[in-house]
């Protein structure tokens, strides 16, 4: 395989190591693939970009064997040395930033600024993980027994499986792989079946670093594939931790499979995120934030704002401002720099949008703007704002597109109750200038989400904090804070270096 592209606007793919036809499995340092062939399609025109041969189960098994072999060597490599490898991966991505960002935009359908921002986030994660490689610190805890040292020690798990979704085809791997690698784990990655080119281009950067440093390729494995490969990962007892990003439904299934074999999961599942606009909010700021949160990535972020909760005193003004802003949104080809709203990722997504709009209407929703698919090539739909009762069943679901439900409330208490009333618990935001409101919102009786913002949108998290959500969102945490602990095995160690055997709690056992 490996001829070059002829279409001029795809020529840049050559520089990312992508050809019109590609092998979709990197295992044990070798590119291979014996599974079915899939075609990557440009959501802006629904025309093929390139084809990828996916991994067969044999490819998977061969790759995992190499991975399992590399495990011991990598676990015993000092963490700062692992950090140096991740640093080089970051530099490799930095070299490819504009091109890889463009590929993300091309294949996923998000706008160029967001495609580049996504790769930048991976780079940021690399930089962060390098520092972390000298800070994966255990503790030495005072023992109640003389001549005893009590320690909390953190060791690698060995292998981490990472299953990512189409909406962040690059950054979510970065969140997981950077931390997993410095923690001493080999990584096995299955990207989304519809974004294989980003998967391959990203893997090539990592592979190049491993090869340059003469490290076993088994340290990083990439297996393009669908449910069959995902299932193989879930059932694989060699993989103590499976990090899964996707729907709540599939996530819970993966979790039950992994738990049954006594493995762990790190879940990043559905969101259903609200922004509250209080009566003391700075409305222009709120309008801009809601626009970015609801329309950005064409509503396909897990942190996309899907519900807008507005205080009655500013309801009309807020809506007027918002609808005006919606009117100015330019929809178009994702890689076109002037586009603000690209296409949905797939025909399937577009069909779901249409289905959702039908349900909305059936459940009494009133379309304030948008509500239709756009009649042109590509999966374009209109950014949509809907007034609907908060009791409507559809409000509890995650409709993965640019649809925003609007509600009117009378008090902070009512707003918080509404915010917390859905099964999901990922992100949430309030616009206010009142310290009491702010601290109530982030306090015990405030938002029940994992991300709780003030005067910024629900989306656009920084990597220094922990990313993830509660309830149906799955409870996992990625990126910063102590998220790394999930990628390691904690041991409480007590070392008796003396000559006696005193017992805890002062127990005397026949002594």
* Catalytic sites, residue numbers: 268
Task: Please report how close the Cβ of residue 320 comes to a second copy at its closest, in angstroms.
Answer: 19
Per-residue burial over 258-269, b = 16 or more CB atoms within 10 Å of its CB, e = otherwise = beeeebbbbbbb
Nearest CA to 41 out of 195, 217, 158, 164 is that of 195
Position 260 contacts a second copy (CB under 8 A): yes
CB of 65 or CB of 145, closer to a second copy: 145
Q: Within 437-466, which residues bind a second copy (CB under 8 A)? A: 438-439, 442-457, 460-466
Task: Please report how close the Cβ of residue 267 comes to a second copy at its closest, in angstroms.
Answer: 10
C-alpha 162/C-alpha 220 separation (Å) is 11
Residues 6 or more apart whose CB falls under 8 angstroms from that of 135 comprise none
Residue count at the site for a second copy (CB under 8 A)?
124
Position 480 contacts a second copy (CB under 8 A): yes
CB of 34 or CB of 420, closer to a second copy: 420
Among the residue ranges 58-66, 358-366, 374-382, 435-443, the one whose residues contact a second copy (CB under 8 A): 435-443
- 490 membership: H or E segment, kind and range: strand 488-496
Of 256, 372, 389, 411, the one binding a second copy (CB under 8 A) is 256
Three-state SS for 389?
A: coil
Of 134, 348, 358, 376, the one binding a second copy (CB under 8 A) is 134
Full DSSP string of 174-221: HHHHHHHHHTT-EEEEE--TT-HHHHHHHHHHHHHHHHHTT--GGGEE
Q: Within 150-189, which residues bind a second copy (CB under 8 A)? A: 150-153, 155-156, 184
C-alpha 510/C-alpha 178 separation (Å) is 51
Of 65, 238, 390, 489, the one binding a second copy (CB under 8 A) is 489
CB of 49 or CB of 334, closer to a second copy: 334
Position 408 contacts a second copy (CB under 8 A): no
Binding mask 285-304 for a second copy (x = CB under 8 A): x--xx-xx---x--------
Q: Within 56-115, which residues bind a second copy (CB under 8 A)? A: 72, 75-81, 83-84, 87, 113-114
Of 6, 8, 393, 507, the one binding a second copy (CB under 8 A) is 507
Query: In the Cβ-directed half-sphere of 491, how many Cα atoms lie within 13 Å?
Result: 8
Question: How many other C-beta atoms can be found within 10 angstroms of the C-beta atom of residue 169?
Answer: 27
Position 135 contacts a second copy (CB under 8 A): yes
Of 141, 227, 351, 362, the one binding a second copy (CB under 8 A) is 141
Task: Please report how close the Cβ of residue 101 comes to a second copy at its closest, in angstroms.
Answer: 11
CB of 196 or CB of 446, closer to a second copy: 446
Residues 6 or more apart whose CB falls under 8 angstroms from that of 433 comprise 280, 281, 282
Measured in whole angstroms, the distance separating CA 145 from the mean position of its chain's CA atoms is 45
Nearest CA to 190 out of 298, 378, 35 is that of 35
Position 249 contacts a second copy (CB under 8 A): no
Position 329 contacts a second copy (CB under 8 A): yes
Of 142, 214, 375, 393, the one binding a second copy (CB under 8 A) is 142
Position 117 contacts a second copy (CB under 8 A): yes
CB of 87 or CB of 311, closer to a second copy: 87
Task: Please report how close the Cβ of residue 507 comes to a second copy at its closest, in angstroms.
Answer: 4
Three-state SS for 6?
A: coil
Tokens standing for residue 511: 């002594």
**Residue owning tokens 């586009």:** 339
Position 397 contacts a second copy (CB under 8 A): no
Task: Please report how close the Cβ of residue 347 comes to a second copy at its closest, in angstroms.
Answer: 26
C-alpha 303/C-alpha 420 separation (Å) is 15
Position 366 contacts a second copy (CB under 8 A): no
200: left (phi over 0), alpha (psi -120 to 50) or beta: alpha
Among the residue ranges 5-13, 51-59, 385-393, 477-485, the one whose residues contact a second copy (CB under 8 A): 477-485
Position 15 contacts a second copy (CB under 8 A): no
Round to the nearest angstrom and report the end-to-end CA distance of the chain: 74
C-alpha 502/C-alpha 394 separation (Å) is 62
Position 48 contacts a second copy (CB under 8 A): no
């Amino acid at each position: 395989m490996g001829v070059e592209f002829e279409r001029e606007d795809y020529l840049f793919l050559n520089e990312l190591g992508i050809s019109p036809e590609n092998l979709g499995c990197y295992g044990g340092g070798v590119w291979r693939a014996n599974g079915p062939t899939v075609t990557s399609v440009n959501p802006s025109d629904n025309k093929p970009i390139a084809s990828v041969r996916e991994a067969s189960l044999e490819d998977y098994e061969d790759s995992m064997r190499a991975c399992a072999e590399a495990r011991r060597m990598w676990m015993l490599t000092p963490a700062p040395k692992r950090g140096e490898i991740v640093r080089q991966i970051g530099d490799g991505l930095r070299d490819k930033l504009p091109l890889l960002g463009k590929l993300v935009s091309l294949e996923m359908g998000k706008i160029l600024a967001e495609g580049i921002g996504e790769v930048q986030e991976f780079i940021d994660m690399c930089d962060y993980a390098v520092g972390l490689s000298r800070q994966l610190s255990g503790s030495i805890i005072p023992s109640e027994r003389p001549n005893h040292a009590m320690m909390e020690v953190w060791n690698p798990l060995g292998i981490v499986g990472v299953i990512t979704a189409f909406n962040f085809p690059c950054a979510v791997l970065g969140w997981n792989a950077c931390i997993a690698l410095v923690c001493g784990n080999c990584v096995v990655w299955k990207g989304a079946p519809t974004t294989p080119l980003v998967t391959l281009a990203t893997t090539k950067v990592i592979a190049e670093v491993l090869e340059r440093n003469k490290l076993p390729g088994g340290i990083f494995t990439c297996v393009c594939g669908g449910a069959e490969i995902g299932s193989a990962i879930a059932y694989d007892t060699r993989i103590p931790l499976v990090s899964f990003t996707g729907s709540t439904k599939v996530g819970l299934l993966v979790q039950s499979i992994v738990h049954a074999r006594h493995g762990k999961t790190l879940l990043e599942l559905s969101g259903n995120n609200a922004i509250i606009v209080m009566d003391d909010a700075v409305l222009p700021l709120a309008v801009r934030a809601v626009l970015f949160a609801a329309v950005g990535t064409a509503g396909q972020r897990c942190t996309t704002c899907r519900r807008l909760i507005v205080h009655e005193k500013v309801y009309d003004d807020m809506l007027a401002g918002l609808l005006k802003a919606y009117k100015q949104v330019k929809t178009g080809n994702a890689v076109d720099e002037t586009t603000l709203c690209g296409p949905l990722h797939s025909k399937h997504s577009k069909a779901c949008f249409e289905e959702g709009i039908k349900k909305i209407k059936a459940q009494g929703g009133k379309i304030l703007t948008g509500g239709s698919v756009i009649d042109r090539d590509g999966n374009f739909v209109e950014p949509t704002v809907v007034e609907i009762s908060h009791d409507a069943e559809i409000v509890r679901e995650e409709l993965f597109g640019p649809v925003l439900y609007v509600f009117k409330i009378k008090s902070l208490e009512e707003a918080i109750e509404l915010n917390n009333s859905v099964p999901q618990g990922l992100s949430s935001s309030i616009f206010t200038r009142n310290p009491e409101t702010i601290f109530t919102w982030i306090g015990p009786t405030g938002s029940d989400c994992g991300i709780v913002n003030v005067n910024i949108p629900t989306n656009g998290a920084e990597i220094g904090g922990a990313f993830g959500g509660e309830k149906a969102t799955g409870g996992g945490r990625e990126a910063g804070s102590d998220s790394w602990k999930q990628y390691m095995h904690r041991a409480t160690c007590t070392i008796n270096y003396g000559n006696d055997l005193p017992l805890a709690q002062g127990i005397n056992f026949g002594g």
